Structure 1
């Protein structure tokens, strides 16, 4: 496993559907994105599959991620749900298959669903496997079940206002890559005075600064946008280098502001 396993950045498809999804993803592919993040829960796997099939880009040039929703974690049903995802995505395999959320209240034991996930990988239907929204304790447990080196990533919410340092440290301890969702804090980064100030210095946007901050920490992310201009500028952000002082100023913005916190979420660190 290397830091180049996951192309950075990817393109996120959460809350995108229909023509909006098709137009945005087509623009992203044309701009050069080759990592696409979707999920069963997003309800757009079929449209993502259509765009990828119509793009003319070879399948092996795309890094495609999808996720199993927590109502499909029972062994047997998990594998069936993956077959359904592959059919919608019009592909024989995904590059990365994630458990989207740990089973609420351990309704399905991790000792049951993680080996089922591993079985999907062994069958060739997923090149890599990982988890999402796992806490430090859940990561320890997952590694004890599957062994070190089996979990490629933990996809968690990370942005300047929720820096999730404990979980990031735990991932690194286990050799697990961190992928960050909601990197722009649903647009809140655009309003922050510190980020605006740094952005002005670089002739960039606060969104680009937030993305460059993640890249500087070797965190993979996949911003989402419906505007062609933003899709391209998000990609350009990965050429931006921040100074140590600027990184420190952003570090001080952490206020534990969690956006994705459904009622079935685990007890966060």
Structure 2
């Protein structure tokens, strides 16, 4: 098993726990309440603080800031900022991940294999699942939920308490103020539906039968007239056999902020 490596100029506070195989580069700073599993790499000038629990195999690039105080007007210094990070994540240069604002049982959560590119920001109490991509300067406000394999392009901004569904694609510069349905591509200010995320679904290996069902569901849910409740009922009747369509419908029905359903243009689906 690899030995722990800490550069002499790095600052690792007493109380911090670092697993075997971790490498801490020059001038990195790790706070006293940080717990880190094996084989993590912390590059020069990165700062990891707060009550932060980190899994294995993560990379923290130069000048990123992880586990810091939430950007929340109601936060006080006596509130601990909780953050949990899973395995094999990459946190890019100057990216920031805030700790949670209040509840020790809640806090900010990152799953596994996520990529946060340079200057990306994850706000307090956000929950990110797995295999998510946040491009340069993509920004999440507090309490945002991002589901598996979602993609947020550069300079996107997501309102607090919004949900981004699985396999969703948010185009560059989009301003997102409502939930983004799974499997869909949204664009613009304010973001509107464009089409199904064909490329993402294909690259992720979603079966052709499921993709065909989602194409039909997209047309029935978002391009046909009538109330959303009636359209959902029609989709359930015709496509109830599809697990992907069932998840799409469940997401729409569970939305508290309301989902993006307006279509910018009737792109081929």
Larger gyration radius, structure 1 or structure 2: 2
Bigger strand share:
2
Q: Which has the higher contact order (CA 8 A, sep 6+)?
A: 1
TM > 0.5 fold call: no
Normalised by the size of structure 1, how large is the TM-score? 0.26
Bigger helix share:
1
